[in-house]
Structure 1
Amino acid sequence: MTTRLSARELTLRYGERIVSTELSLDVPDGAFTAIVGPNACGKSTLLRAFVRLLRPAEGDVRFDDRAVSSFPAKEFARSVGFLPQDPLAPENIKVSQLVARGRFPHQSLLATWSEADDRAVADAMDAAGVADLAGRDVQELSGGQRQRVWVAMVLAQQTSYLLLDEPTSFLDITHQYQLLGLLAGLRDEGRTVIAVLHDINQASRFADHLVAMKEGRVVAEGTAAEIVDAALMKEVFDLPSMVVPDPVTGTPMVVPTL
């Protein structure tokens, strides 16, 4: 397995509250990794450390054999895109303007807005299914529409790595599967996707690599076929269940037995 992004012996904390200790993880390059686990187990905290929003108290995060803290902000943002769990849009901003902010890492005094930027924004809005909303005020949109606009902004960034924290939040089931299919398609094009997901069956169907977390530590990682079973569901989620083949894909499908 090749990896460009890794965590080594991390201690992650918010003030005096420790979330994780001795946490290590290698993210497979060119794969779709889904991080799953119960609420407040450290999934989002790990993503924040990966993208430099949280400095580890101990250990380090490395990208291309460099500490992520050593990268200039724009250089890092040209390689790694991030969609947080609860992004906030400025007031009175149109959809097309918000999506265009994904091009900021590519702008400089010598490289101003170009036709390539226009194409990147248009392609991102098409991919996220929000092209018809381009002229709307973001604040007027439903939660699901806003979520798809934020996804479009990250796509417009055109990074080789995409990290998304609960990207299916607020989406109806059709748009959830469309988005996960889009992310799998980006993986097929050679990009690396890391997403925090709540639905274990969606994670099993779409992701190549699953990371199961509990209480700030990695309990298991591997393909869905390797790690998803009734014992894991009981240990991680305290959920009695049986695991059967997904009738569409053959991947593990969890059926609660409560």
Structure 2
Amino acid sequence: MTARLSAQEITLRYGERVVSTRLSLDIPDGAFTAIVGPNACGKSTLLRAFVRLLRPDTGQVHLDGREVGGYPSKALAKVLGFLPQDPLAPDGIRVRQLVSRGRFPHQSLLAAWSARDEEAVGEAMIAAGVDDLADRPVQELSGGQRQRVWMAMVLAQQTPYLLLDEPTSFLDITHQYQLLGLLARMRDEGRTVIAVLHDINQACRFADHLVAMRDGRVAAEGDPAEIVDAALVKDVFDLPSVIVPDPVTDTPMVVPTLQGD
């Protein structure tokens, strides 16, 4: 079965700097895909190509057999919800107003704000744990609170695909695990989740499809239980380690053996 979302032999660059060359990747439908790797290895760049914020020099990104550049903006935004690394909120905007912007793909010149829109915004704020912040100015919030507000905006978009670039940034450890658990539940409900994560152990615990990147290439992909070993961790992160079972989930857990100075 052909994946609905795929990159086919894409070459990605910023100016003169080539990030990835002839990279191909199929995203499994209805799965939680975690993309891991060291800084500047091409993880975020790949996500930007999937949502057509970066056009490949060569190759194509396909959604349902059609190149993503061929979709009208609103049509694409009804399918792909995207959370970038460092989103910026307009001055003075309040939480409910920002989350409501997630409903933009569903609006038209003739369609007024509906009860369904209101319901979607309320559900998204509750899911992201920011319903008690609805009337607060976004600029007054902590980094972790703002991150959860942005997550609520993406959830309000109600897309079958969620593409999230470091969604656990700024979150304390409790909120990290709550968010990852929420994404896993969305996967279980039929959505496709693609998230760039820094913590490989969190990726192994929550994702069922792992993509490990190094130097703009896919070093390995598949079920974490089948691909994560000490050799892969050394190749991707240049980190000596041993792999043990996670005591909670029995998924692979990376234990570094590097002692430092």
| TM-score (ref. length: structure 1) | 0.99
Q: Deviations over 1:212-258 (max 9, x none)?
A: 00000000000111111100010000000000000000000000001
Question: 1:109 offset after TM fit, Å?
Answer: 1.6
Report whether the alignment pairs 1:29 with 2:29: yes
Report whether the alignment pairs 1:189 with 2:211: no
Runs of 4+ aligned residues of structure 1 deviating over 2 Å after TM superposition are none
Aligned positions, number: 258
Q: Which residues of 2 match residues 157-236 of structure 1 at below 5 A?
A: 157-236=157-236
SS at match of 2:18: strand
User: What's the C-alpha RMSD, in Å, of the aligned pairs?
Assistant: 0.6
- Cα distance in 1 between the residues matched to 2:232 and 2:110: 53
Q: Aligned partner of 1:203: which letter?
A: A
Partner of 1:96: 96
Report whether the alignment pairs 1:42 with 2:64: no
- Cα distance in 2 between the residues matched to 1:111 and 1:246: 50
Unaligned runs of 5+ residues in structure 2 are none
| TM-score (ref. length: structure 2) | 0.98
Question: 1:167 offset after TM fit, Å?
Answer: 0.1
Question: 1:2 offset after TM fit, Å?
Answer: 4.8
Unaligned runs of 5+ residues in structure 1 are none
Q: Deviations over 1:98-119 (max 9, x none)?
A: 0000000000022221000000
Partner of 1:79: 79
Q: Provide the identity percentage.
A: 79
Partner of 1:244: 244
- Cα distance in 1 between the residues matched to 2:86 and 2:109: 31
- Cα distance in 2 between the residues matched to 1:110 and 1:218: 45
- Cα distance in 1 between the residues matched to 2:153 and 2:132: 15
Query: Does the 8 Å contact 1:243/1:255 carry over to 2?
Result: yes
- Cα distance in 1 between the residues matched to 2:179 and 2:231: 29
- Cα distance in 2 between the residues matched to 1:235 and 1:78: 38
Q: Deviations over 1:78-110 (max 9, x none)?
A: 011000000000000000000000000000022
Q: Aligned partner of 2:232: which letter?
A: L
- Cα distance in 2 between the residues matched to 1:112 and 1:83: 26
Q: Deviations over 1:159-214 (max 9, x none)?
A: 00000000000000000000000000000000000000000000000001000000
- Cα distance in 1 between the residues matched to 2:115 and 2:37: 42
- Cα distance in 1 between the residues matched to 2:14 and 2:248: 42
- Cα distance in 2 between the residues matched to 1:218 and 1:150: 29
Q: Aligned partner of 1:82: which letter?
A: F
Q: Which residues of 2 match residues 55-74 of structure 1 at below 5 A?
A: 55-74=55-74
- Cα distance in 2 between the residues matched to 1:103 and 1:169: 24
Query: Does the 8 Å contact 1:165/1:196 carry over to 2?
Result: yes
Q: Deviations over 1:120-167 (max 9, x none)?
A: 000000000000000000000000000000000000000000000000
